Amino acid sequence: MRLLLTMAWRNLGRRPMRTFLTMSAMAGATAVLITALCMLFGMIWDLFSAATENYHGHAVVAASRYLDERHIQLALDESRPPLGILGSPEVEGRAARLRGFGLLSAGGAREGAGRGWSPLARCRNACGAREGAGLGTESQSQPAEFLGVDPAAERLVSRLPGRVAEGRFLAGSGKREMVLGAGLARRLAAGLGSDIAVMGQAADGSIAAERFTVVGILDGGDKLRDSTLALVGLRDLQEMLVLEGKVHEWVVRLKEPLKAKAWAERVSDPRSGVEVAPWNRFLPQMSEMFNMIRLLRGIYAAIFYFAVVLVATNTMYMALLERIREFAVMGALGLRASRLASLVLMEALLLSSGSALAGGCLGSLAVLRLQEHPLDFRRTITSITWAGATLQPVYRTVFAWEHVLFPVAVTAVIGVAVALLPAWKLGRTRPVDILREV
């Protein structure tokens, strides 16, 4: 074996330019494929992160039937979270949320201060009536979804605090502050410092009315959601909806979000009265997109390696034809045909392995470079919204071992595979026939 390895190494060095060009083609194809796969994965990962971390989270823990019915009374006790689920090692962060629905109006008149409004004044402000005193502007009511959050905990599970385009995020609960979606703020003609009157129905059937001050304008990337979403403090919404100490859901951030479905199935218990829903349930399009990646990976590999096969096959056959007399002489001197075939395969193994390692290193360096310094085309290409998220024309790579090891392994295997036919042909040829012809 050592003798064959030495001979194979020397044979590759006898034609350095041919060896270099062949290795360059194979290594270049491997590096380009690694970069393309990691860039494709980076695009999908950015879209996935925007869709899950801007609003939904990686998974949601809620009372049974709440995610289907959205009934206000299907709430969990905040003081007794399902620690068997939320405390699992896969959970990286969690945050409680409360939801409500109702009408918002901006620019209504003040009658009294704070919670001292009369019921008549609350109705007038919520329905958009014109008042001649106070602010003296006309208010147009808009339907909205109220999302009560704990500002500190929300930073652990979502990007909502960082998506504030104007003003700031909520400072805390109990301060009657509100962050409006950009589209909802335009519809209400509201800005920073505006007074917002809120009217809805509380859990006990009474009218839920409150007044908030706008401290921020949210640009979450989803125009449809931004036109209906209003963020308030968790304690404020609990008091308004008469749901003190209750939450509708716990939003979970996982260490491995792509395995959210398996995690949800493992921790779920139908007898507990708690439902665990992974992001796949809220974003089925994104789930299908990840399935499509596997297909695209195979297509990309087929395209790139078709060229690699042609180059490698041509090199192996040219080497066989140029050295056919040499092989015949070695056979006539007593070297068995199996040993000659092994020599050809050893050369192919050295060539393909070196190409694979070189291509893997070059591809990894390119991936790491583009991961830190992505290609930014925002000046020439507009963003697109899909599956509840906005994809910016900023193309970066995401390093993943499977997208590096797969091309490297295939390159090494292909180099040996294309040498099987020349080795087989050489093993079946008699040296005397070759010497007679040449």
Axis-axis angle for helices 420-428, 284-322 (nearest 10): 30
What's residue 128's pLDDT? Answer: 43
pLDDT of residue 276: 92
Give dist(CA 168, CA 163) in Å, integer: 9
Whether the pLDDT of residue 127 is over 60: the answer is: no
* 11 shares its domain with 77: no
Is residue 83 located within the same domain as residue 178? yes
Last residue of a domain, one of 240, 272, 304: 272
347/255 same-domain check: no
Asked whether the beta carbons of 104 and 152 are under 8 A apart, the reply is no
Segment 148-161 mean pLDDT:
90
- Say if 58 falls within a structural domain: no
Q: Note whether residue 129 is domain-resident.
A: yes
**Distances 173 to 229, 231, 380 between C-alpha atoms, Å:** 18, 11, 42
pLDDT tens digit sequence for 269-301? 878 889 999 988 888 877 787 778 778 777 877
Asked if residue 188 lies in contact with residue 228, where contact means CB atoms within 8 angstroms, the answer is: no
Q: In terms of domains, do 205 and 300 share one?
A: no
Report the alpha-carbon distance of residue 209 to residue 113 in Å, rounded.
14
Decide: helix, strand or coil at residue 333. coil
In the predicted structure, residue 239 carries a pLDDT above the cut 80: yes
Based on the fold, state whether residues 182 and 41 are members of the same structural domain: no
Looking at the fold, whether 78 and 201 belong to one and the same domain comes out as yes
Domain boundary among 242, 272, 302: 272
387 with 259, same domain: the answer is: no
Question: Rounded mean pLDDT of 140-166?
Answer: 89
Helix (H) or strand (E) holding 282, with range, is helix 279-282
pLDDT for residue 432: 63
Tokens of 125: 């402000």
- pLDDT band of residue 364 (cuts 50, 70, 90) is very high
d(CA 363, CA 341): 32
Same domain, residue pair 40 and 181:
no
In a domain, 277, yes or no: no
Domain boundary among 272, 300, 333: 272
Top-ranked range on mean pLDDT: pick from 234-238, 318-322, 344-348? 234-238
User: Which range (32-46, 349-363, 389-403) has the least confidence?
Assistant: 389-403
Backbone angles phi, psi at 386, to 5 degrees: -155, 140
Is residue 309 a part of any domain in this protein? yes
3-state secondary structure of 241: coil
List, in sequence order, every beta strand (DSSP E) within 44-119: 59-63, 76-77, 91-106
100 shares its domain with 237: yes
In a domain, 402, yes or no: yes
Residues 239 and 301 in one domain: no
Q: Residue 136: which pLDDT band, with cuts at 50, 70 and 90?
A: very low
In a domain, 59, yes or no: no
Please say whether the beta carbons of 406 and 335 come within 8 A: no
Please indicate, yes or no, if residue 90 is contained in any of the structural domains: yes
Q: Are residues 101 and 213 in the same domain?
A: yes
Number of domains in the chain: 2
Q: Which run of H or E residues covers position 398?
A: none
Least confident of 45-59, 108-122, 311-325: 108-122
The H-or-E segment that residue 74 falls in is none
Residue 138 clears pLDDT 50, i.e. is over it = no
How far is 58 from 253, CA to CA, in rounded Å? Answer: 5
**Contacts of 194-197 spanning 24+ positions with Cβ under 8 A:** 194/106, 194/107, 195/106, 195/107, 195/108, 195/110, 195/135, 196/104, 196/105, 196/106, 196/230, 197/104, 197/105, 197/106, 197/108, 197/122, 197/125, 197/126, 197/139
Same domain, residue pair 335 and 247: no
Contact (Cβ atoms closer than 8 angstroms) between residue 250 and residue 76 = yes
Residue 177 has pLDDT above 90, yes or no: yes
pLDDT at 126 over 60: no
Over 60: is that where the pLDDT of 187 sits?
Answer: yes
Is 80 exceeded by the pLDDT of residue 378?
A: no
What percentage of the chain reaches a pLDDT higher than 90?
25
- 114 within some domain: yes
Q: Which domain holds residue 342?
A: 2-52+286-437
